[in-house]
Amino acid sequence: MADDRIILTIDHIFNGQTAGIGPTGGQKIEQIPMAGQNPIPRAASGNNMTAVLGSISANLLVSGGAQILAASGNTELATTISQGASYAFLAGRIAASGGTDITAILTLMMRGTAQVIKLVREYKMKQEEIAKKLNALDVLKMRSGMIVITANTQMSYNKYGRLTTTDRR
């Protein structure tokens, strides 16, 4: 009795090629094109998939180490390590793709922008706090007579709220 089984084999879908149908001997009888679908990007196949999974594992390892540091009370170091690893993995993804990984590039740009905004905001808050303390010191000086205010004294505030007094001439 002859073997009448037909085995469907699907090869090279990740590369955008066609699937083959053949008998058990592996000989292809006809080619079935992918029905109008775009192929899955190459980055998700073969050795690249192993690299992606390896980078995810490394990221999880660094994240676990940062959590241990945070649990031991060193939260600043843990945060720094975690953020540094995040930037390093994104830069690695960009380098591994040859600069074509748009998602990694945009993510890196957004994180960088957020970090710059955060630093500017922290700087502004520190300057406002310093201005409040110096203003309180100036009020004490005014009460003690070290700063004299007359009819010609002009008072103004800078963008951080720091009081300045000048005499008009």
What pLDDT is recorded for position 33? 44
Reported as a pLDDT band with limits 50, 70 and 90, residue 88 is: confident
Query: How far is 158 from 14, CA to CA, in rounded Å?
Result: 61
What pLDDT is recorded for position 97? 83
What percent of the chain shows pLDDT beyond 70? 67
For the chain, which residues make up each domain, given as ranges? 1-40, 44-100, 129-167
Tokens linked to 164 = 């300045």
The answer, yes or no, to whether residue 151 has pLDDT greater than 50, is yes
134 burial level (CB within 10 Å; 0-12, 13-18, 19+): middle
**Averaged pLDDT score across all residues of the chain:** 76
Would the CA dihedral through 106, 112, 117, 122 be positive or negative?
A: positive
Reported as a pLDDT band with limits 50, 70 and 90, residue 98 is: confident
pTM of the predicted model, to two decimals?
0.55
Reported as a pLDDT band with limits 50, 70 and 90, residue 41 is: very low
What pLDDT is recorded for position 52? 64
- Where is pLDDT greater, at 94 or 29? 94
Residue 93's CB is within 10 A of a number of other CB atoms, namely 19
For 115-127, the pLDDT digits (tens) are 999 999 999 999 9
- Where is pLDDT greater, at 10 or 76? 76
81 neighbors 65 (Cβ within 8 angstroms):
yes
For 42-85, the pLDDT digits (tens) are 444 455 667 666 666 777 778 788 888 888 888 888 888 888 88
Query: How far is 70 from 80, CA to CA, in rounded Å?
Result: 11
Token pair 């922008």: residue: 113
Cα–Cα distances in Å, from 142 out to 46, 137, 139? 76, 9, 5
The answer, yes or no, to whether residue 39 has pLDDT greater than 70, is no
Alpha helix stretches (DSSP H) within 8-164? 46-71, 75-96, 102-144
What pLDDT is recorded for position 121? 96
3-state secondary structure of 129: helix
